[in-house]
Amino acid sequence: MKKISLLILVSFCTLAVFPQAKKPVIMVFPSDQYCISRGYSMTFDNQGLSQTLPDYKKALQTDPDLRLVITKMGQIMADRGFPLKDLEQEMKNIEQEGAEMAMLTSKSGAGIVESPIDRLKRTAKADIILDLDFTIKKSGPQTYISFNLKGLDAYSAKQVSGVAGAGQPSSAVAPEILLEEAVLSQMDSFNAGLMRHFEDMFANGREVKMLVRLWDSSGDDLETEYDVNGETVELITAIDHWLDDNCVSGRYNRSDATASMGRYEQVRIPLMKKDAKGIERAVDTRTFVTDLRTYLGKAPFNITSKVYQRGLGEAWLIIGEK
C-alpha cells in the first residue's frame, strides 16, 4: 500500500510541472488487431494498394464491452494520477467541428477553406497512446480476461511502457470488473514505465523527427555554400550547427542526407523555451522547426521556406518558397 501511495504522489508531483509546458494528452485506443479482427475496419485504395484501417467510431458504437473496458481503464489511470482524454467524446467533437465548419459562412456567403490535408489532420491526437487489446475467455463456468496494454509515444512511435497478462477465472461476468481484476496487479509497473518516460523528457527533451526538403522551384540545394561567421559551410552543415545549438544537449541524429534532402531522427527538443521577451513558452515540433525557418530566413541565407507538420512528432522544412 505504501508503494502504491508513493507512486501516486510521484505521479502528481511530476505532472504538476506541466502547467507551463504542454500537458501530455493520454488516450486509450483499441488496438488495430482488436478492431480489424472483429470487423471494425475501413478499407481504402491508396494509389492502387488496398489499406485496411481501424474504424474506431464503429467499434465504440457497436461493441459495449469495449466501451465499458475503456471507461474502466480511464478510471484506473485517473486514480493513479494519469487522467485520460476520452476517445469517443473527442471523435464526437471532431464530427461536430466538421458539421459547424460546413455550415459556417461569412456575411457575403463565403465558406471556410479546408484543404484535403486539413481534413486528414482533423483526427483525435494524443501524446501517449494506450494501445489496448483484450479477449474475454471461459474456463468452465467462470470467465476471465486476457489483455495486452502498450504505452506508445505518438511523437517517436516508440513503446515506452507495456504489460500483458490474464486475470484469474472469476464468477464476475462484467468485462470492466474482469479487466480491473486482471490489470490492477500490473498497473504499478506500467505507470512506472510512463513516469520514466516523462522524467526522460524533462531531463533530455522530447524526441521528434525533422525532414528538410526542396521545392523543385528552389534555386539552392543543401550543398549550396554560405559564409557563416567567416567560415564557408554548406547549407546542410549550417542546419547541423543550428541543431547543435538548439537541441537539448545537442542531441539529434542526421540519418540521411543528399543535395535535396536531409532526414533527422531522435531530435531532442526542449519542452519550454524563452521567447524574445523572456517569457517561457511551450515548444512542440512545429514551433521548433519554425525557429529553424526563421534562422534561415535571415542573412547570410535569406531563404524562404515552408513548415509542414506531419502528425505530432514530425515536421518538414521545405526550402524555396511558401
| 307 has a pLDDT exceeding 50 | yes
**Between residues 38 and 176, the one the model is more confident about:** 38
Would 174 be classed as within a structural domain?
Answer: yes
CA atoms within 13 A on the CB side of 270: 17
Q: Which of 157, 162, 8 lies closest to 82, judged by CA?
A: 8
Would 108 be classed as within a structural domain?
Answer: no
Please give the mean pLDDT across all residues of the chain.
Answer: 85
Would 168 be classed as within a structural domain?
Answer: yes
Same domain, 72 and 168: yes
Distances (CA, A) of 200 to 138, 147, 204, 271, 286: 41, 27, 6, 11, 21
**Between residues 116 and 267, the one the model is more confident about:** 267
Same domain, 228 and 279: yes
Compute the distance between CA of residue 270 and CA of residue 48 in angstroms, rounded to an integer.
41
Would 3 be classed as within a structural domain?
Answer: no
Question: Quick check: pTM over 0.85?
Answer: no
The tens digit of pLDDT for each residue in 195-225 reads 899 889 888 999 999 999 999 998 889 999 9
| 123 has a pLDDT exceeding 80 | no
Predicted confidence at residue 14, as pLDDT, reads 44
Would 146 be classed as within a structural domain?
Answer: yes
Same domain, 179 and 251: no
> How many domains does the chain divide into?
2
Return the percentage of the chain with pLDDT > 90, whole number.
44
| 285 has a pLDDT exceeding 90 | yes
Residue type at 214 in one-letter notation = L
Among residues 202, 222, 245, the one where a domain terminates is 202
Would 49 be classed as within a structural domain?
Answer: yes
Same domain, 123 and 268: no
pLDDT class of 154 with cuts at 50, 70, 90: confident
The tens digit of pLDDT for each residue in 25-37 reads 889 999 999 999 9
Would 251 be classed as within a structural domain?
Answer: yes
Predicted confidence at residue 121, as pLDDT, reads 58
Mean pLDDT of 248-277: 92
Same domain, 23 and 58: yes
CATH assignment of the domain containing 88: 3.40.50
Same domain, 47 and 120: yes
Q: Which of 109, 158, 107 lies closest to 131, judged by CA?
A: 158
The tens digit of pLDDT for each residue in 176-191 reads 888 888 888 788 889 8
CA atoms within 13 A on the CB side of 162: 11
The answer to which of 2-6, 49-53, 132-136, 259-263 has the lowest mean pLDDT is 2-6
Q: Which of 316, 315, 313 lies closest to 154, judged by CA?
A: 313
The residues, any chain, with a CB within 8 Å of residue 97's CB and separated by 6 or more, are 122
Predicted confidence at residue 47, as pLDDT, reads 66
Domain hosting 85: range is 17-100+115-202
Would 91 be classed as within a structural domain?
Answer: yes
Same domain, 242 and 177: no
